[in-house]
Amino acid sequence: MKKFLNNFTLIGENLKKIENTAFNIYKKQKEGKKGKKGQLSLEFSVMVLAILVISYAMTSHFMDEVLDQQVKKVGDVDVLAKSAVNLLNSGYNGSEASLYFIRSEIINREGQYDITIVLANDTPVSENDKNFLKDYIEDNVSADTTVALKFEN
């Protein structure tokens, strides 16, 4: 009987060891899954961050290289047109014009700029004043340009 109890105790201890081993294996598997999920989440976050940084860099490069030059041209043309109108309104070159700058329109065709300056006038504008406006803008823009004047009353 003692032998039977010893065997029963050994069996019980072995069952506890098996139970602990199974529990430890289950626990490690469960922890391993959590670790892998966390790792995948981190890798995905890093990948998304890299894509965002690359997209931002490409967009900012495009904006700096391409659009900045065109925006600079628009700004230059606006300033030049306003300067020419102010010169004529102040009596430059014997002008008696009364002009108002409304807007400039620019069409870019592969390095060739077609510029239309839209003006309003209170008094008739002489051909000399029109030529001065065109020449002033064409001479001061650093690209091939064609300037047209459009008057709105």
**DSSP result, 41-68:** HHHHHHHHHHHHHHHHHHHHHHIIIIIH
pTM here is 0.51
Distance CA 4, CA 10 (A): 10
For residue range 106-124, what is the model confidence (pLDDT) as tens digits? 887 776 778 888 888 888 8
- Quote the domain boundaries for residue 74: 2-151
∠ CA(68), CA(73), CA(77), 5° rounding? 150
Greater model confidence, 102 or 2: 102
Q: How many domains does the chain have?
A: 1
